[in-house]
Chain A
Amino acid sequence: MKTYKIIILLILTFGFFSCDKFLTEDFKSGASVPSYYLNPDGMEGLISGAYVSTKIWYGQEEGSDFSDCGTDIYDYGQQHPMQYQYFFTSDFNAANSRLIVLWVEFYRGINACNTAIDILSDPLRTPFNAAKTTKRLAEVRFLRALYNWLIVETWGGATLNTKPIYDVVTTAQRSPVEDFYKLIFEDLNYAVDNLTATDNTNVTNDYGRVTKNAALGFRARMNLTWASYTNDNAYNTAAVNDAAAVIASPKFKLYDKYSDVWLMANNGNNTENVWCINYSYTQYAGLGTSPTDYSIYQRPTDKLWGAREGGNHEHENYGTQYDIIPGMARDVANGRPFRRYVPTKYLIDCFNEDVDQRFYGTFKTVWKANNVAKLTLKWPQAGYHTADTLTGKTIIRKNGDTCIFMTKKHIPDANVTKAINTNYYFNIVGNYWCLDYDNMFNPDGTINNAQCFDRNLCLELHKVYDDGRAAANNLGSERGARDAYVMRISEMYLIAAEAAWRLGNTTDAYNLYLLPLAKKRATGAAGAAMLASYGINSGADLTLNYFLDERARELCGEQMRWFDLKRTGTTVDRMKKYAGNLQARANFDNHFVLRPIPQAEIDAITNKADYPQNPGY
């Protein structure tokens, strides 16, 4: 029987031969990191993955929520799903479900940057030749600087990641603001030094990639920012130099007609564009296609939006509800109004629309009737007016007639009648629906909710319109192709002017930078007259408030306002004075200048003691 036993033992043990090899997984259905990045296509994919997080901020509601809105220039609109965050009560807190989306996406972008930087910095691992390695490294270092700037200006000294993360990490540290700016400047210096004037300037292939001018322009912005915090004139000087270098570039030219800046026809070849996020109408996954991407950080009752299927969405966010007015129907040209944001009185007041092209270039004030066939309202109809003198009058005769007019002017009350059961006013002289300055705002300067039909109607930001979409309404047509400008050349004039002014060089500020810009922006090129109408007759008249006013006029709706107020230390003053609702004016205090660190971060880390929440939250 011994033989049998031996055979049995052999058979029994046979299964364990080469066990470890048998139990080794070979993951053919997916790519593992980092081996995937070690080939050229993989690295290009990683770099694309580093760029993509910019799409959570630029051209998106999530970004505008925390840059333009809730400042002195914009307040919430009727359809904003999280209106309460603009009251600045205790409801604006660490559980905020939009801040978490931004936080998540910025750190994902940074990790992609860090992964690429780690590999590209290693000559043995980079899949590119030396020239391309340097170019791509400069791009991702620029992107890392951009994300770190957005983080540090939103949350203060949060987590500064500099190395790629592949494994399970359950801790995090906070770093000082200085460390952020130190890395931002190191990254931008590398980008400026290593990108050549011709790198990434081939429009056909590279439009949207980081260029030397983009790096210079962004470094100019960072220099001015850091100079604003530190009053260190070295940074002011650097800001002037960087901005001047971009201005000197033959690639850029201010349009004579301000509204041309925003023509969709000029999208893609805009001469004022220093750097933009490149959008198209095509459906791409973009960001946040998986419901689990952000939802795991949020409570089920939170209103989740997330970035939707690519595309620029600002055309919806700033839209006003023109289509509730009789005679109007929703169409592509007029857009799909999501009514997220309403301009404040301060912003409207900034403009001298008689001499400054930018008022009408910025706001849409006139809507032409497009639906008179279905206009069932004719005078008289029970319930629509009280004045018998109107009997028998047709409201609007034909499509193309002015149907809605919103104006900074004052329309005499005698000319206006209000239809019963509605908040709409009808100008019986001009024969159009109207919303005038007196009805837009309360005497205290806040937005007049009732007269603006619960913030559904307002002057519409026309900078973001997009009439090339396929349909007025369907989901696919929410995607706008307008490129989101991160920096325009006019900002370089303003940076240089402000930095020069901060250096005491008021003459240069006025002559070299403010006046050339004003000439292009003023009606009939009367730049000096326009500046004079704003109280600036020479460089000596310049004040910080002037720069803030001018930046509001030039850059409103371009996701800069929060940063301008924050670096100039004027956030609290201006919110108390100009915010669009009384609660915000009453509640806003210094702690709101930093946003709360998302609770999901604090919940997930095991070293909670090392990670204090920003004060006041």
Chain B
Amino acid sequence: MKFTILLTLFATLNVSAVLYSQDARLNLSIQDKTLREALKMIEGQSYYRFFFSDDYLDLGKKVTVYAQNKGINEVLSNLLEQGTVTYKMLDNNVIVITPVAEKQTNTITGTVTDGTSSEPLIGVNVIVKGTTRGVVTDANGKFSLDVSSGETLVVSYIGYLSEEVVVSDQNALNIRLMPDIKKLDEVVVVGYGTMKKKDLTGAVASIKSSDIVGTKSSNAIEALQGKVAGLDMTQSSGQAGAGFNILLRGARSLSGSNDPIYIVDGVEYGSNININPNDIASMDVLKDASTTAIYGSKGANGVILITTKRGVQGKMSVSFDTYYGYTTPLGKLNNGNREYFLKESRDMYRLNNNNWTLTDDQIDLNTAILSNLEKVGYNNGTDYDWVKAQMLDHGSQQNYHLTISGGTEKTQYNVSLDHFVQDNYIPNDYLKRYSIMTNMDAKLSKVVETGNSTLVTFSKNRKGNGLQYSINPLCVPYDTAGGVKKLYINPDDRVPFTNPLIDLDPNNTINEVFNTSIFSTFYLQLNLLKGLTFKSSINLNMAFNRQGNYQRELKTDTIVNRVSSGSLTAQNDYKYTLTNILTYDRDLGKHHVQFTGGTETMYARRERQYESGNNLTLKDSWWYTLNSATTNLTITDPAIDPTTNQPYYPLTEESMVSAFARVNYGFSGKYLASFTGRYDGSSRLKKKWDFFPSASVAWRISQEEFMKSITALSNLKIRLGYGISGNQSAPIYSSWGGINGTPLTYEFGQPEKVILGYRNSKAQNDDLGWEKTATTNLGLDFGLFADRINGSVELYQSHTYDILQSRTLPPTSAIASVFQNIGETKSKGIEVTLRTVNVATKDFTWTTDFTFASNNEKITYLVGGVQKDEINKWFVGSPLYVYYDMKKIGIWQTDEAAEAAKSGKTPGDIKFQDQNGNDTIRLAEDRIVLGSPRPKWTAGLNSTVTYKGFDFSVFVNARIGQMIQDQASAYWAPDLRENSIIRDYWTPNNPTNEYPRLNPGLTQSGWSEGAALQYIDGSFVKIKDITLGYTIPKNITKKVYISSLRVYVNAKNYFVFGSYFAKGRYDPEGTDAKGKTNTGYPNPKMITVGANVTF
């Protein structure tokens, strides 16, 4: 018990008591009572209060004291053992009993400031070395403490290097703490506990609050992009609230999920980290099996641990963070305009008439080619930009975040209120989110601590319609007559399009997700013995997700009307997780032992309902009056659950019980070893239990005596780990046999009456188990020049086996397929992390962080031992997802007509490589693996400069060697029935090898070979983020009661380099997990202005 801290508290809280002079008289008769009872009796008789520590006071000692009208000094001198303890009476009647060694001499005061900025530091721990005495600094960085001369003060603060100051005779100390660029003593969060970074034996990457707060995203996980080597992240879509594709060290599972799991404050969370970045203290990424095995059957894809901020003891702190971002699409698609459409039309005319010598003037587009509607547009000069018409001038992103934090020694709190708004430049596409986070910690006694953290969020996410590109620029959205918006853009003989502008009216189409989630943890911690703690926590997690879709009835067109339709999906999740953890952490001489063990029990339940209907009698009540639907009223959910490939179950329940343990052992701080194991039992499987072990060792070479002479080398550690973690890829209920989910129908009688048909369609599957990944990780940590240059290199190799794969059963068994653990994949890679402190002076600092990763994944075994599975596009030796198609090598030219004819082609058609050399090119035999959406390597470079109040940082991200599938190239109708991108297509006059000829016989959808035009190198280098900030000097802000004020501007996603982008496309990062680019919702770039205020 740090009673000195208590004293300070009492002082600040102004506990008033009747002043009792030292000569107050006591009457006591104490016989053979314990010292504790004796002191209690004195307290009962007087206003005196005792403060002491039982570490040095033997309270159980029996004492006998008789006192008649005696002064307190006399009583105490009899009561307390002379020579070992002494006491001091403070002026508020508090009597402090201390060991006699602690000579009270003088009260020292001091100020602690930041060594670089000279700003006072609040909440710094100042402790007398070797004692439990200490204080924390106040809001001005000041402290005062009773010390004796010759004692040493230990001054420590998170993020700063600790200082030790020997007290001499001075009364005032000015202590400057230097920011901790040396991260070895940094604490990292690992599974079910924390460790010092220097004690780590596995591969863990940590991102601290300072790197997280600047993230401007609906999903805080973006903070990790480019900053964790081996974590490959891309933003899939510009849609408000869109998520990320995330792979840690590549993909390993063929059918199951490859997403890492997210653990927020010790409990598993969904993948949408809808927590404000300001509320996050750290994110730690567990990369290898020696660290993930403690998460057992869930750990194989990596674990991302998110720790939220908690209150710290000290004065209440109020801070407010806000920003406004201005968003526009990154890039512009080179979509066809009037000029291009007319050029194509004239070439189509030449093609149809087989006369390529006709000049433009000789072609009258009014007599052929153009449809009647297009002729109108052609003759009055129409050049309508449909893409522009479907977008707003700009979008915006705003955030308002208020944090109130503080606490006493017994109770700390951190409460925040957040409002996040993302308004897309795609109309009716927005996300509005409100959240409240409350973290509370209380020490009930020396033994018992308790607390709670709760995150409540609700959000409304409207989804706008994706941009359409294929409407031709000679058409306008209005009837020529009265300017009435047409429902269909129907250039008579061409494909009719629904007018996309119709649905820009927010009443005509509504697609809305309303989400409420509550994530709340309560814990109780018992500090049982020195180093031994027991923590029990329960987490309740509820998420209520409602998706509504509505289309209003439209009768604005004489040709086709649109009926109203509505649908409602309600998905409710309930989950509880009960965790008990026992931790023992002791230094025993040169031995350091840390044991963590515990159990976890989880139950999750999801209920899902669906209803939909058309032709709603009650107009405009969205999806809320579906029982007024006159047609297609249904409760059958048409959506397919991607994990089961089945319609969603109306109810899924799942439970899991686990026991886990980890032992860390260190000798002399040089030799480290760690062993973990987890035993998981799951309801999903018939073979319910499985075990996941790991072991790792590390050697801190730099601690060896023989290394001490190499002074430039401040740290050198080599780590080796091996472990097995699992992947819960078996969908719920996949071990059950069952009947077909969608009923078959057979009719009997006249008139026909249906009897729904059911029969065995799923086999009972008793052998299902987890996928497992065994990883070997070799790591090297190094630091040079007092860690001015530090970093790590990881080499790893992982082998995933028992991969869940759908096995096709013999059709004679009447059951189509069954999940079995059969496939195997392997991956290996290298990761480099480097941080340099280039300059560190009082006014000027410059640091650089660099990450590099290269991962190579491949399939090594498929069911039945086959080398290829064309249906799933799986090939032994290739990455898990590849593009498998014919390889375009050019365009058949006029002089190659004879050769082209062998494959039924004519000049101007795409020329594919004949892979099997049989002189004909056929889809069935000439396809090869063309490439994969996985990058060859990724890198991130973050450089930060501070000068006085200014801070400036640039973040560059590179993703190189991936092939992507360009959707814009798919917007191509060889028959000229739709508009497309501007492209260099073949004509007899333009013998290009880029794009094939126009072809009136091919429609866009019916042209399978056109896919070959989509496979494109998607490599890019991006200046992802540029920030310039200025912290206004304190002496100015103090006048308006602001302790700190920083303003900043930020440019996000502004500069992109790469061949794909240069072609006239949107953000090359904007692809789905399979590399398909997103042109419907192009990714944004954003200029932001913001402010961080602390009061």
**Do A and B come from the same complex?**
yes
Residues of A within 8 A of B (CB): 1, 4, 8, 11-12, 15-16, 19-20, 22-33, 36, 42, 44-52, 55, 100, 103-104, 107-108, 110-112, 115, 158-159, 161, 164-172, 202-209, 268-269, 278-280, 282, 284-287, 289-290, 292-293, 295-301, 310, 598, 600-601, 603-605
Q: CA A20 – CA B683 in complex, angstroms? A: 9
CB neighbours (8 Å) of B582 from chain A are 8, 12
- Beta-carbon contact of A604 and B749 below 8 Å: no
Q: CA A248 – CA B733 in complex, angstroms? A: 55
- Beta-carbon contact of A284 and B764 below 8 Å: no
Q: A25's contact among B580, B601, B653, by CB below 8 Å, is which?
A: B653
Q: CA A43 – CA B650 in complex, angstroms? A: 24
Cβ proximity bits B732-756 to A, threshold 8 Å, 1 near / 0 not: 1101111111111111111111111
Q: CA A110 – CA B814 in complex, angstroms? A: 8
CB neighbours (8 Å) of B712 from chain A are none
- Chain A residue at smallest Cβ distance from B884: A300
- Beta-carbon contact of B683 and A23 below 8 Å: yes
- Chain A residue at smallest Cβ distance from B682: A23
Interface positions, chain B 773-823, Cβ under 8 Å from A, are 806, 808-818, 820
Confirm or deny: B528 has a beta carbon within 8 angstroms of a beta carbon on chain A: yes
Interface positions, chain B 596-648, Cβ under 8 Å from A, are 597-601, 603, 645
- Beta-carbon contact of B733 and A25 below 8 Å: yes
Q: CA A20 – CA B688 in complex, angstroms? A: 9
Interface pairs A-B: 9 shortest CB-CB: A111-B814, A284-B745, A29-B649, A49-B757, A49-B759, A48-B757, A169-B813, A112-B759, A280-B752
- Chain B residue at smallest Cβ distance from A26: B653
CB neighbours (8 Å) of B864 from chain A are 603
CB neighbours (8 Å) of B688 from chain A are 20, 23
Chain B residues within 8 Å of chain A by Cβ, number: 79
- Beta-carbon contact of B815 and A206 below 8 Å: no
- Beta-carbon contact of A11 and B536 below 8 Å: yes
Expressed in whole angstroms, the minimum distance between the Cβ of B692 and any Cβ of chain A is 17
Q: CA A207 – CA B759 in complex, angstroms? A: 22
Expressed in whole angstroms, the minimum distance between the Cβ of B126 and any Cβ of chain A is 33
Please list 13 pairs of residues, one from A and one from B, whose beta carbons are closer than 8 Å in the complex, sorted by A's number.
A22-B601, A22-B655, A25-B684, A46-B759, A112-B814, A166-B760, A168-B767, A168-B809, A268-B750, A292-B816, A299-B870, A299-B871, A301-B923
Q: CA A110 – CA B760 in complex, angstroms? A: 11
CB neighbours (8 Å) of A287 from chain B are 744
Confirm or deny: B534 has a beta carbon within 8 angstroms of a beta carbon on chain A: yes
CB neighbours (8 Å) of A47 from chain B are 755
CB neighbours (8 Å) of B817 from chain A are 296
CB neighbours (8 Å) of A28 from chain B are 651, 653
- Beta-carbon contact of B683 and A24 below 8 Å: yes
- Beta-carbon contact of B812 and A278 below 8 Å: no
CB neighbours (8 Å) of A207 from chain B are 748-750
- Beta-carbon contact of A48 and B745 below 8 Å: yes
Q: A29's contact among B733, B758, B810, B870, by CB below 8 Å, is which?
A: B733
- Beta-carbon contact of B758 and A4 below 8 Å: no
Most buried by B among A32, A164, A298: A32
- Beta-carbon contact of B763 and A45 below 8 Å: no
Residues of B within 8 A of A (CB): 526, 528-529, 534, 536, 578, 580, 582, 597-601, 603, 645, 649-653, 655-657, 659, 681-684, 688, 732-733, 735-760, 763-765, 767, 806, 808-818, 820, 864, 870-871, 923-924
- Beta-carbon contact of A169 and B747 below 8 Å: no
Q: A286's contact among B744, B749, B871, by CB below 8 Å, is which?
A: B744
CB neighbours (8 Å) of B732 from chain A are 25
CB neighbours (8 Å) of A169 from chain B are 763, 809-810, 812-813, 815
CB neighbours (8 Å) of A49 from chain B are 740, 744, 746, 757-759
CB neighbours (8 Å) of A295 from chain B are 871
Q: CA A25 – CA B688 in complex, angstroms? A: 11
**Contacts A11-B534, A19-B681, A115-B759 known; A285 to B744 CB distance under 8 Å?**
yes
Expressed in whole angstroms, the minimum distance between the Cβ of B819 and any Cβ of chain A is 10
Q: A604's contact among B599, B745, B808, by CB below 8 Å, is which?
A: B808
Q: B752's contact among A27, A171, A278, A603, by CB below 8 Å, is which?
A: A278
Q: B526's contact among A4, A20, A25, A104, by CB below 8 Å, is which?
A: A4
- Beta-carbon contact of B749 and A32 below 8 Å: no
**Contacts A45-B743, A299-B924, A301-B924 known; A208 to B870 CB distance under 8 Å?**
no
Expressed in whole angstroms, the minimum distance between the Cβ of A374 and any Cβ of chain B is 14
Q: CA A99 – CA B149 in complex, angstroms? A: 97
- Beta-carbon contact of A601 and B810 below 8 Å: yes
CB neighbours (8 Å) of A605 from chain B are 810
Question: Which applies to chain A's interface (DSSP): helix, strand, loop or mixed?
Answer: loop
19 other A-B residue contacts (CB within 8 Å) besides A104-B811, A604-B810, A604-B811: A16-B599, A22-B603, A22-B657, A23-B682, A108-B759, A167-B763, A168-B815, A168-B818, A169-B763, A169-B809, A169-B812, A172-B812, A207-B748, A278-B749, A280-B752, A285-B742, A292-B645, A293-B816, A297-B808
Q: CA A24 – CA B809 in complex, angstroms? A: 27
Q: A23's contact among B655, B739, B751, B759, by CB below 8 Å, is which?
A: B655
- Beta-carbon contact of A204 and B755 below 8 Å: no
CB neighbours (8 Å) of A209 from chain B are 748
CB neighbours (8 Å) of A268 from chain B are 750
**Contacts A48-B746, A52-B757 known; A30 to B809 CB distance under 8 Å?**
no
- Beta-carbon contact of B810 and A204 below 8 Å: no
CB neighbours (8 Å) of B681 from chain A are 19, 23
Q: CA A364 – CA B735 in complex, angstroms? A: 55
**Contacts A12-B598, A32-B736 known; A115 to B760 CB distance under 8 Å?**
yes
**Contacts A44-B755, A49-B757, A292-B816 known; A208 to B748 CB distance under 8 Å?**
yes
Q: CA A515 – CA B32 in complex, angstroms? A: 131
- Chain B residue at smallest Cβ distance from A45: B758
- Beta-carbon contact of B745 and A52 below 8 Å: yes
- Chain B residue at smallest Cβ distance from A603: B864
CB neighbours (8 Å) of A22 from chain B are 601, 603, 655, 657, 683
Most buried by B among A24, A110, A279, A604: A604
- Beta-carbon contact of A296 and B816 below 8 Å: yes
Q: A48's contact among B684, B738, B755, B808, by CB below 8 Å, is which?
A: B755
Expressed in whole angstroms, the minimum distance between the Cβ of B339 and any Cβ of chain A is 34
CB neighbours (8 Å) of B812 from chain A are 107, 158-159, 161, 169, 172, 601
**Contacts A48-B746, A103-B811 known; A30 to B923 CB distance under 8 Å?**
no
Q: CA A100 – CA B812 in complex, angstroms? A: 11
Expressed in whole angstroms, the minimum distance between the Cβ of B294 and any Cβ of chain A is 16
Q: A208's contact among B659, B683, B747, by CB below 8 Å, is which?
A: B747
CB neighbours (8 Å) of B749 from chain A are 202-208, 278
Expressed in whole angstroms, the minimum distance between the Cβ of B952 and any Cβ of chain A is 52
- Chain A residue at smallest Cβ distance from B654: A25
- Beta-carbon contact of A36 and B758 below 8 Å: yes
- Beta-carbon contact of A111 and B752 below 8 Å: no
**Contacts A11-B580, A207-B749, A280-B751 known; A19 to B744 CB distance under 8 Å?**
no
CB neighbours (8 Å) of B738 from chain A are 27, 30-33
Q: A45's contact among B603, B656, B756, B820, by CB below 8 Å, is which?
A: B756
Expressed in whole angstroms, the minimum distance between the Cβ of B731 and any Cβ of chain A is 12
- Beta-carbon contact of B739 and A165 below 8 Å: no
- Beta-carbon contact of A100 and B924 below 8 Å: no
Q: CA A162 – CA B684 in complex, angstroms? A: 32
- Beta-carbon contact of A601 and B752 below 8 Å: no
- Beta-carbon contact of A166 and B764 below 8 Å: yes
CB neighbours (8 Å) of A12 from chain B are 580, 582, 597-599
CB neighbours (8 Å) of B652 from chain A are 29
Q: CA A158 – CA B812 in complex, angstroms? A: 9
- Chain A residue at smallest Cβ distance from B741: A30
- Beta-carbon contact of A15 and B808 below 8 Å: no
CB neighbours (8 Å) of B653 from chain A are 25-26, 28
Expressed in whole angstroms, the minimum distance between the Cβ of A97 and any Cβ of chain B is 11
Most buried by B among A25, A50, A51, A298: A25
CB neighbours (8 Å) of B758 from chain A are 31, 36, 42, 45-46, 48-49
Q: CA A172 – CA B813 in complex, angstroms? A: 8
